[in-house]
Amino acid sequence: MHQNNYHKKTKFIIITGGVISGLGKGIAAASIGKLLNSRLKIIPIKLDGYLNVDPGTMNPMEHGEVFVLNDGGEVDMDFGHYERFLEVDCKSDQNLTMGKVFEEIRKKERKGEFLGKTVQFIPHVTDLIKSKFFEVAKKEKADLVLIEVGGTVGDIENELYIEAVRQLKSEVGSDNILYVHLTHIPIPSGVQEQKSKPTQQSINMLRERGIQPDIIIGRCEQKLTDKIKNKISVFGGIEKNAVISGIDVDNVYKIPLAFEEEGICEIIHRKLRVYSPPDLTSWKELLNNINEPINEIIIAICGKYTELNDSYASINEALMHCSAHTKHKINLKFIETTDIENNKKTIAEVLENVSGVIIPGGFGSRGTEGKIEVIKYCRENNLPILGICLGLHLMVVEFARNLCNLENANSTEINSLTPYPVIDIMPEQKDIENKGATMRLGSYPAWLSEESLAKRLYQKELVHERHRHRFEVNPNYHQTLKENGLTISGTSKDGRLIEFIELKNHHYFIATQAHPELKSTLTEPAPLFLGLIKSAISKSTL
C-alpha cells in the first residue's frame, strides 16, 4: 500500500542492537553512511521507544545532550553523529519516538480515519511507522535510508519498530533492504578469549522476530578472531566475511576507516548495489593531525553536569575538530563551579595551567555564581574565554555588575527579584505553560558588525546558528552595556535580540546566544571554537 508513495529507488539499511545497550549504534550507522555517501543522498532515521514526544524535556543526566536541528527539532544525540559524519542537515521528522507515534494514532482515531476498525498495534501502528519511513524517503529524495532502531532487541518498547522493519522487507523487496546487527563480544577475565554466545542468542532473538541479519558487527576490545567469526557465521547463518570487527577505538572518527578495512562496503554493495567509494584522504589527514599533535593545551569547561560527558557531547566534538585543525591535543578539565562557590577551591587554583575557558549552556541557578567568578577572572587576566548561551548570559551579568555598576544584576532565570534584570525572559515566552518544544529553538540568522572579532572568525556578515533557550539580553540594557564598553557584535535583523558579544582589548572574550558546537564538523570546525583554541595556543606559547 505504501509502494507508490515513496522515491522508488530508495534502499534501506536497518541497524539493530543486541546484548547490551550503549554499543554505539548511532556511530556505527553514521560510519556506514560515511563510507557509502560519495554520490548518494543518505538520510538517517532514528527510532526511539520512549513515550516522550522528544528528548527536549528529559534531563541530560539521564539521556545525554539534547541535539537541536535547524528546523528547531529537539532530537536524540545520535543526530549529532549523523550530521557530523554525513555532513547533512537532518529534520525533526527523522527522529520517530513512540510518543510521536501514539500521539498521531490517537489523533487519527479521534478523526475517524480508521473507518470503524478496531485500532491495533499490527497493522495500524506498524503501518504508521512504515509510512513515516516512506514519507521521509520521498520528501528527501533519498537514495538510501539508514534506520537505527533504538535499544536492544527484546526490549518491549521497541518491539513495534522491530516488527515494522521486518515488514518493510516484503514491501520494498529483499534486494533493497539490508539488516545490520550490532552486538558485544565479551572477553571474560577468567577465560581470556572472545565469546560468541551472547551474540548467538541475540541473533536468535532477531530471528524469532522474523529478521535474519545480513551483517553482524561485533563490538570488542580486540579484532575478532577467525575462530569467533566462524562460530558466529555457522550459528547465525551469516557469511563469514559479513561478521565485522567493531573494535574499540580512541576516536570515533576512526570507525569508518576500521569498518572499511574489514570490507563492510563490498558486502553492502553486493546486496544493495549502492557503493561508490568516497575519497577519505582529507578525513585521514585530519585524523593523523589528532594522532600526532605537536603540542597540547588545557581547556576548562565550567559546568554542572560535570559527571556526565554526554551532556556536553557536541562541545567535546567541536574541540576534537579544532584539535585536527591546529595539531594540538586538547585536554579537557571539567570545573564544578559549586566548588568555587563553597570556597573549596580558589579560581587561580582551578585555572592553573588552563589556556582557555568555555562556559557552556545550561539551566537553573546552581553553580552560576562560581561561573561568574571564573568569567571575572578571565576578563581581568586576559585568559581566552568563550560563552555559550547561558555562558553569554553570565558574561553579561558579570559585565553589568562589575563594569556598569549595576549591583546584584542578574538573569531572572537565576533571581527573579534582581534589581537589574539584564537577562530576562522574552515577552513571547512569558505566558507559555507547556514545557515541550516551546523555547526559541532551531536556526536563526545573526548579522555581525564590521570590524568585530565575530565577523573576522566567520568571515561573513550573515551567519546562521542553532538556538535553545528562553532568556535573552534585556533590550532595556543594551545601551548601558554598550556605553560601558561591551561590544554587541551580532544581533537579529531588527537589533532587538543580541546574538554575539565581545570585548575589545582582550585576548579572546566572546560569547554567543546560540550553540555553534551543534554545527561543527571534522572538516569545518565551528569558527568560535577554532578561534578560542588558536587564541589559547598563542597565549600558552607567549
CA-to-CA distance for 376 and 347, rounded, in angstroms? 10
Q: Give me 224's grid cell.
A: 575478532
389 binds ligand GLN (CB under 6 A): yes
Q: How far apart are CA 155 and CA 422, in angstroms?
A: 48
By CB neighbour count within 10 A (0-12 exposed, 13-18 middle, 19+ buried), where does 285 fall?
exposed
Of residues 220, 302, 322, 389, which has the active-site annotation? 389
Tell me the window of 81-89, 98-106, 355-363, 526-534 that interacts with ligand GLN (CB under 6 A): 355-363
Our CB check for ligand GLN shows the closer of 145 and 385 to be 385
Q: Is 390 in the site for ligand GLN (CB under 6 A)?
A: yes
Give the separation between CA 454 and CA 529, rounded to whole angstroms.
Answer: 11
Residue 441 binds to ligand GLN (criterion: CB under 6 A): no
Contacting ligand GLN within 17-76 (CB under 6 A): none
- For ligand GLN, the closer of residues 374 and 389 by Cβ is 389
In the complex, minimum distance from the CB of residue 396 to ligand GLN, in angstroms, rounded to a whole number: 12
C-alpha cell at 63: 539521556
Which run of H or of E encompasses 324? helix 313-326
Sign, Cα dihedral of 328, 331, 336, 339 = negative
User: Are the beta carbons of 184 and 218 closer than 8 angstroms?
Assistant: yes
Residue indicated by cell numbers 536492544: 152
Q: Which grid cell is 514?
A: 546560540
| Residue closest to 539 by CA, chosen among 210, 267, 264, 298 | 298
For ligand GLN, which residue of 91, 468, 506, 519 counts as binding (CB under 6 A)? 468
State the DSSP string of 379-435. HHTT--EEEETHHHHHHHHHHHHHHS--TT-EETTT-TT-SSEEEEE-HHHHT----
Residue nearest to ligand GLN (CB): 361
Residue whose C-alpha cell is 566475511: 241
CA-based R_g, the chain, Å: 25
Task: Please state the separation of Cα 268 from the chain's center in Å.
Answer: 26
Minimum distance, C-beta of residue 362 to ligand GLN, in the bound complex (Å): 5
Return the residue of 363, 369, 402, 484 that touches ligand GLN, per CB under 6 A: 363
Q: 3-state DSSP call for residue 277?
A: coil
Pattern 402-421, ligand GLN, x by CB under 6 A? -----------x--------
In a 10 Å sphere around its CB, with 0-12 CB exposed, 13-18 middle and 19+ buried, how is residue 335 labelled? buried
Q: Looking at 105-113, 414-422, 464-472, 485-493, which segment touches ligand GLN (CB under 6 A)?
A: 464-472
Min dist CB 256 to ligand GLN, Å, is: 31
Q: Which is nearer to ligand GLN, 17 or 303 (CB)?
A: 303
**Residues that contact ligand GLN, how many (by CB under 6 A):** 10
Segment lying near ligand GLN (by CB under 6 A), choices 231-239, 318-326, 368-376, 466-474: 466-474
- Give the nearest distance from C-beta 505 to ligand GLN in angstroms: 27
Residue 362 in the binding site for ligand GLN (CB under 6 A): yes
AA letter at 68: V
Q: Which residues of 471-498 are buried (b: 16+ CB within 10 A; e: fewer)?
A: bbbbeebbebbeeeebbbbbbeeeeebb
- CA 343/CA 350 separation, integer angstroms: 11
Q: Rule CB under 6 A: is residue 466 a binding residue for ligand GLN?
A: no
- 223 versus 470: smaller Cβ distance to ligand GLN: 470
C-alpha cell of 383?
585568559
- Report in angstroms how near the CB of residue 490 gets to ligand GLN at its nearest: 17
Q: Residue 470, interface with ligand GLN (CB under 6 A)?
A: yes
Interacting residue with ligand GLN among 471, 477, 509, 529 (CB under 6 A): 471
Q: Out of 49, 361, 525, 527, point to the residue binding ligand GLN (CB under 6 A).
A: 361
The single residue listed with the C-alpha cell 563594569 is 403
Q: Which stretch binds ligand GLN (CB under 6 A): 70-78, 357-365, 493-501, 532-540?
A: 357-365
469 binds ligand GLN (CB under 6 A): yes
205 vs 359 by CB, closer to ligand GLN: 359
If you count them, how many residues does the chain have?
542
Cβ closer to ligand GLN: 320 or 392? 392
Closer of 322 and 389 to ligand GLN (Cβ): 389
Stretch of residues binding ligand GLN (CB under 6 A), selected from 56-64, 324-332, 356-364, 490-498: 356-364
Residue 484 to residue 69: CA distance in whole angstroms:
36
Answer yes or no: 389 catalytic.
yes
Give catalytic residue positions. Answer: 389, 515, 517
Binding region for ligand GLN (CB under 6 A): 361-363, 389-390, 413, 468-471
